[in-house]
Amino acid sequence: MRPAIGLLVFVEILLLGGHAVRWARTSPRFALSEVVVEGHRALDARDIVRLTALPLGLNIFDVDLEQVRSRVAANPWVRQASVRRQLPHALRVEIEERRPAALFRRDPPFAVDAEGVVLGALLDKPQGCLPLLEGFDPQQLSPGSSVWGPGFEAQLAAVRRFSLTPGIRDGCLSVRRTEEGRLRLRALDGKIELLASEDGIEAQAARLRAVVQHILREPPASARIELDLTFPGRVVVRPTGQDGGSKG
């Protein structure tokens, strides 16, 4: 008798569980009435809600959380996204936004983040001046695509290091790769050009910091000067476009 009683209890529990599931999936108490967005800065919360593509009134247990997460994460400005139910009737979407690290074009601005993901048009005005990475054609790039590679990595590393140099950090830097595989940077509205190697950026930045204040205090007669950092242990200063130089 005891095994039979145990079986009946088990069946009864299953039936009660089935009734509970049916009730939860049909009760208006669990009808979706709100999508809460957290973590957004540049993006508008309303745009994130639209990306979820969920109609209000849908039973919250019928929401495919992974599908919603994928739709939100498809926005190029979203680096990571998570979605969870907030019972009884809300959905919580948490995102981490990508931040612009540089521009491929200044006017109108066309941005890329530090991981090489193309962001496209800026959503708001950035703090400070974003560096310009030349050699990338915005017309050939679509938001969400990636430009990560040795060239992009070298250019971004160079502008990041050299932008910390006193006397230069307040200006907008631009950088391009030369045919010889070197980096040519412009600072202070083009008054100073830096010629650097892709390797050893940290050491070259240290040499620049050691001499730049002296150079800016007593600049050469030329309105524009080039600081060649490609020679180990020294900085060669020359008027732009002329040969020759001196140790720094």
Q: Are 182 and 230 in contact (CB under 8 A)?
A: yes
For residue 129, what pLDDT is reported?
87
Where along the chain do its domains lie? 1-29, 31-97, 100-239
Same fold, 31-97 and 100-239: no
User: Which CATH number is correct for 100-239, 1.10.357, 3.40.50, 1.10.10, 3.40.1350?
Assistant: 3.40.50
For residue 82, what pLDDT is reported?
97
Give Cβ neighbours of residue 234 (< 8 Å, ≥ 6 apart): 207, 247, 248
In single-letter form, the type of residue at position 42 comes to A
pLDDT digits (tens, 9 = 90+) for 201-236: 999 999 998 888 787 776 655 568 899 999 998 999
Stretch (H or E) spanning 83: strand 78-86
For residue 222, what pLDDT is reported?
58
For residue 148, what pLDDT is reported?
95
Q: Which residue has the tokens 């006193």?
A: 166
CATH number at 31-97? 3.10.20.310
For residue 2, what pLDDT is reported?
55
Residues of the chain short of pLDDT 70, as ranges, are 1-26, 170, 218-223, 241-248
pLDDT digits (tens, 9 = 90+) for 45-63: 999 999 999 999 999 999 9
In single-letter form, the type of residue at position 49 comes to V
